[in-house]
Structure 1
Amino acid sequence: MGFTIQSAKEILKSSLGKTAAVKNLIQRNEEFFYQTAENAALIPCKAVNEDVSIETLIQAFKQHSVVVLLDQYKHPAACITAAQMIDFLYNTYKQLHAFYETVINTSDASVTVIDANERVRTWTKGAETIFSVKEEEILGHPITKFFDRSKLEILQTLHTGKRIHGQYHQPRSDLFVLINSNPVYYTNRIIGAVVSETDITNQVLLNEKLFNMSHEVHRLEQEVARYKHSQDPFYIIKGKSAAIQTTIELARKVCTVKSTVLILGESGAGKEVFAKAIHDASEEPNAPFISINCGAIPPSLFESELFGYERGAFSGADYKGKKGKIELAKGGTLFLDEIGEMPLDMQVKLLRVLQERKYYRVGGEKEIDIDFRVIAATNRNLHELMREGKFREDLYYRLNVVTLNIPPLRERYEDIIELTHYFLNEFSQRYGRPIHEISPEVLQEMLQYEWPGNIRELRNIVERLVVFATDGVIRKEYLLFSASRTAALNNQILPSIESQEKQHIILSLQEEMDRHERKILQRALKIVNGNKLECAKRLGITRATLYNRLKRLGLD
């Protein structure tokens, strides 16, 4: 509170030290005596250094009624009697209490303090407002007299030391709050607990209204889209946050010219969606958009996939020959996804095509002229790859004419609600499963989650929610994660063994998900005898996605 006394020297700064009667001291050898009045008996004194702790000073008063404080030269600096010390400590206590009361009365939040016997010691005006219980009614009484024990998070904090931060809680059917809770420790034991609660009932109710209105807006937007002849290509990119809107505006400017574009962003952030929008906004309606995932094609097949081949170019080739991705993209856009995964030898050949706009098919002798736009994308750090010699600098500067940085979902949290409603509407229509209620706890968890997989992960999670919501109600237990539970575990103070277990749970959360995915992929590949194309079909994913996941999990 600002009045912590660290040493006896602090007392010298107070009025107590200034009024100390040093002149009444009598020194004999190395001992001090205090004379209360002329010709009165001498009282033995305890001499201590002025820098000793307040605890040492109090111990000295347990054996002596007068204590002498010595300065650095061992000269008397002050003489303090027990009565003076008691008066000083009492005044300090009163000041601390005054500050405590002022802080409590200034806060609008609900703050509750209970002691070791579960009795309420502090009950603020905010608590009165939220719970409709007056301070004079509850103060000094067991908290369980007024509330159901099973719904009191503060009791878990008191009895187990559990710390809570930002946890969603519903103490009553008509009340929603966010809780922060901490135990009160004294001499390494819990003597009480403090909980603060913020009423978010209005936000929850508004969110429910927003959900219903958003669902209706999406329905109307789809109806309007049926009759709209020229739709904005960037309409598909959802979000009103400043981060995503700035990126969209920059992408619109790119559409006015056919320069090469390099799109950077984490996996699942929407790089291909931006590439397609740029293509649609700048090319003719029937212009081709050819996508190639540079990380999903084996190096031995890369050249034939990109450039195509003449008939008889190699053993096993189609007798008619085959057009490559570059040729298929003529008059349109070639999207090179995961460009950072492209083999070095292919980087040289691609650079030549970009510079000269000419190339040869594999096994061909005729030079082919080509006119197409290149949009490249990667989630890798190209500068780091260049330092490691895995990506050519000349190709980087050829691609890096215009750069778009797609913000990850954790930098645009305000868009999560809109995206969630958009995907809910999409999957509820696809599966013919109307969703009429989503638990506020679900949205709270989604807003607190880090989203390492970005938009793709959010879309998959929403699909899962719709699949499990057979009664049209989306509940918290349908989520694959629990952000608040993870945060609570992070803040808990547990014994050493439990602490190790806690760290293991948090540390291995992603590992557990990867391990589970690895088992699924291994089992699927075993069933189809290693046929990756068949494996991708059975899992309901593209071959490129399968290759990426196999590579990330070390199964390639």
Structure 2
Amino acid sequence: MVKIRVFIPHLELKEIFEDVVKKLPQYETIQIEQQYVFGTPDDLAKYGDADVLVARGMTYEVLKKLFPDKHVIEVHVSSFDIFDALVECRKQNAGKIALCLHNRKFKSMKELEELCGASITIYDAPNEASTEAAVHQAMEDGADIFVGAGTMCGICDRLGLKRVHIHTNEEAVEVAMKEALNAARTIRQERAKSDIIEAMLNHSEEGVLAISDRGRILAINNQAYRIFQISTVDSLVGTPAAELEQADDWENLLHENQARERILKIKGKDYYVQYKHLSEEAAETGALVFIRNTDRIMEEERKIRKGLAEKGLTAKYSFSDILGKSKAIRENIHMAQRYSRVNSNVLIVGETGTGKELFAHSIHQASSRSDQPFVALNCAALPENLLESELFGYEAGAFSGAAKGGKIGLFELAHRGTIFLDEIGEIPITLQAKLLRVLQEKEIRRIGSTSVHPIDVRVVSATNINIEEKIRGGQFRSDLYYRLNLLDISIPPLRERREDVQELVDFYLTRFACEMGKRIPTVTPEAAQLLMQYDWPGNVRELRNVCERLIVLNDSDFVSAELLRQLKIFRESKAREPVILPEEQMEDTVYSRLKPKKKKKELAEELGVSRTTLWRMAKRQSELEQKQREQEISKRRSE
């Protein structure tokens, strides 16, 4: 919405303005307000919230000085208006007329005096003080009648002097309002263009800076905030661009007076930076700086050149993606970096949402196997028979409905690379022996095959449960545990490293604002305190979800404590009671485990079997589980 504010000095002019506004075109995006102001009061500065200001006389002159960057439009006093006032003086038999105006001259003054039958003296009156002085000077000069605008008339009334008011005609008001309306439409169009450009920039994967000829930031997109690791509470517009990064290469790039491109290190990462003048003919008008992550450029080139970036076979994250400055997380990163230099198996332990997978990806990326496959599997997502075929593959004809040419397993896909086994504590005990053998012998045998295939795979596993307790309960093999747990990392929950909350909030608010093309909101101190005090039972994953929710639901530029409460960001977690399925639903148990991950059709396609075969396999699994339960019940009764 664009606002026009019209300053009205008296009721007569108010009526004229209202009549003119009724005749003008109406726009939903333009609002016209009237403000009664006589003269130039001290509080004129408080009316600057409008985009276009319309006034006359001294009010116009003061507004122009108060708001040099705004559209201030003058309602002009025409020569005909002045002539009408002078004619009125003749009716009152004036002998000497004092004409109080600002910056007005008349070439035909002699003719005017003859017409009025009186001498006319012009006194300059740009403001109230000078008008007061002009009136007193005219009194000393012997003036018997005064002609001027509202401010002069007020002074004359106070001093008991004869005066004639110069009225503003409707035509002058109409001209001024049409000019104001055109200015408002232009402002609206420019804002719409600016919003489109801002949305485009904030959806860009490049960091973009607009810099003035003096080296100050004119505009900056969300990606640049992320690159320079600027907090959501800081505003950069108007600050020197050189202060973004304390590095000689960065300052040299900004100060050299030519278009250029370089590889620069910013916040420990390499970026491809392009510096382009806004005008090739006039470099002093400023420049645009485009910043792209070199890793992203090389990754894109690799995808285009080879077309081999298969889903699930590459690590997506590195240690630089792990946020946090707390001692605990820094020690974990340092330890994981040391683990990356060797090929030993690693077990990552931590609560849900702490970032175990992030560490697994990073260890692979920093290792000598980084250019080899990275294969990930959630061990809790599949029942035993399907999990076995996924891990080790199967030969053609190994079972009814098997794919014609068989299927390669994940261990073979990860050859010379890394396999990440998430939720390793959920792997069935009957499959643990086979997994142990693979780790010991470094070879696999597909289902239905009589031959073995040597493999060179590093195993990184993760769990959010206490495996040692499962070992004591006979649910996990101790020899497999010690084979997996050659090197271990224990990731602390977010409640034990609260000092990392602000950095994570800054990162995710900025990230989601970038993705959605919205402004980055500022977090108030009270809201930041609430976020720091919350226990985050879902850890970083919960914090990430909260930040995304704030960007989606919040339309203001601030995240306040009241907003967090209104959106019910913090909820008490309640333990869920275990659900015991009726016996007739036992066949679908295996699918209930799969439901969050894959549909039956997708799973059948991935395994290379028909849906009927998948159903038979699941049924066979449920029958086996039922038989095991009956044996356990029978054993307890005999005891």
Q: TM-score, normalised by structure 1?
A: 0.48
Which has the greater radius of gyration?
2
